[in-house]
Structure 1
């Protein structure tokens, strides 16, 4: 019983801080949310949500999010992060003004968001094996103080 636990801990410690190269990641590209599957009331749903992941000249992850709300107003948020968990500035986002990212696998991105030093949410993005769809799991604390998990579905747009 102890040997598997020790092996698991050693593996986790050994891989902390490792990041994958973005160049071959299926995460790169433009992703459009399946609005019909958003777990919020129909009247509160945005008209569209688009996330674009790209690589900058220094190998960092560029994230751009475009939301068109139900009234047609646009919100644009963006950030550039190293994949080593180093915090970086996020702009245009009501939820966060800082983010940190890591890629434990080529098709998995973990993103931590914070606002003014307070955790906002953790996002885990997983690209499907066929690279045509992506699932975002958002973990945060609800207004009632209880943990909340929300799943959003995206399809590749490019």
Structure 2
């Protein structure tokens, strides 16, 4: 019997995320999740380095800015501002608990629901759904320089084969 695409993708994501959680230091593991959220170097605004995207320059977005903000109570606000190649803009937003609880995403062409977890202060794991279907999982990791962010996106490709894409961001504003 062939496993469903959703089961394969969830298993694949779990396999990817597990080493990140295990890589956390004992000190980080003992820290309360709310302290992770308040001290996270992910907080602030990040600009996509479009020059590193694996697509023709004319098809790349003009700009993508992610902003993570601490909303208190182990919740984060997230805003994504995209200017596509033709010039049209999308401004998506949402607030989510960092415990995997689903939350509403507003104005996104890609997702209407998100769930986020912060296994360590410098790693965020996010699942995005559209109409109840998992459309992608994103892992955001701040590099040791604290000014660079790597996003690994996993989503279903042609014939149900998982696709992984890496994007690189540069800090434009320190949050807190």
Deviation of the 1:59 alpha carbon: 3.4
Question: Aligned to 2:68, which of 53, 59, 76?
Answer: 53
Cα distance, 1:20 vs structure 2? 4.9
CA distance in structure 2 between the aligned counterparts of 1:102 and 1:59, rounded to whole angstroms: 10
Distance in 2 separating the partners of 1:137 and 1:20: 24
The runs of 5 or more residues in structure 2 that have no matched partner are: 1-17, 23-28
How far apart are residue 39 of structure 1 and its match? 1.9
Structure 1 moving runs of 4+ over 3 Å: none
Task: Please tell me whether residue 87 in structure 1 is matched to residue 87 in structure 2.
Answer: no
1:130 aligns with 2:145: yes
TM-score (norm 2): 0.77
Distance 1:155 1:142 in 2: 27
Q: Note if 1:68 corresponds to 2:90.
A: no
Contact 1:107–1:127 (8 Å) recurs in 2 = yes
1:19 has 2:33 as partner: yes
* 1:110-151 C-alpha deviation (Å, 9 max, x unpaired): 000000110010000000112010000000001332110000
Residue in 1 aligned with 2:169?
154
Structure in which a larger fraction of residues adopt helix: 2
Offset, 1:40: 2.0
Pick one of 111, 123, 127 that aligns with 2:126. 111
Gaps in structure 1 of 5+ consecutive residues: 1-7
Q: TM-score, normalised by structure 1?
A: 0.86
